[in-house]
Amino acid sequence: MGIFDKLFGPSEVKKLIEKRDIEGLIKKLEEANYSDSHIIEALGQLGDERAVEALIKALEKEDGQVSCICIAASALGKVGDERAVEPLIKALGDIYREWKTAGFSATVSMFATRALQQMGEPAIEPLIEALESDHKDIAASAAFTLGMIKDSRAAEPLIKALGIKYWRTRENASTALEMIGEPAVEPLTKALDDENKDVREAAKKILKKIQKK
């Protein structure tokens, strides 16, 4: 118990957390204009789907504190509701804003990647679609996220992404295929005959790396 709790008793928010009062916490977050990291984190820890819409609002708050946005992404990953997939994919494009605290630093995009990895299955098809996003940083981050999930269904779309012009998407697709590993070997072997020279050369390099593991 902190010194203020000893002097004045537990705060109202702390009482709501202890009672697992989701509706009460959501109301408090609304009052704080979706800018209270302590409440956002608590809603993620409690893991109740009733909090999803409020957490999405905290994630999408354009003028929000980066710390709150990052914690909202993390909270949505813990709750695991598929309504959060599209907002988290949109957040993959936020590769420059960093949350720095106590020697720790990570971008909004990194938190979104981790959240989508935690969600797994519901995120796979939307992430595959995001490989063709007009927002090049979303496409690039989607490629890496698919590698983190390691689902074989992503192998062929990632191979196709090896021929994309944006270098970061190509590099992330290559890394993702290495992370997928053995399930990607067959489609990569087929890609050795791809009409695109860049895809053929990349497939050859990736196969060598997978075989060395």
Domain boundaries, the chain: 10-117, 122-212
Two tokens, residue 12: 């109202």
Split at pLDDT 50, 70, 90, the class of 30 is very high
In SS3 terms, 93-138 reads as: CCCCCEEEECCEEEEHHHHHHHHHHHHCHHHHHHHHHHCCCCCHHH
What does the alpha-carbon distance between residue 42 and residue 19 come to, in Å, rounded to a whole number?
Answer: 12
Count of C-beta atoms within a 10 Å radius of residue 65: 15
* Three-state DSSP state, 77: helix
- What is the pLDDT, as a whole number, of residue 44? 96
Candidate CATH numbers 3.40.50.10300, 1.20.1250.20, 1.25.10.10, 3.30.479.30; the one for domain 122-212? 1.25.10.10
Split at pLDDT 50, 70, 90, the class of 70 is very high
CATH fold match for the domains 10-117 and 122-212: yes
Q: Is residue 101 over pLDDT 90?
A: no
Angstrom CA distances, 148 to 12, 123, 133, 162, stand at 39, 12, 19, 17
Candidate CATH numbers 3.65.10.10, 3.20.20.70, 1.25.10.10, 1.10.10.10; the one for domain 10-117? 1.25.10.10
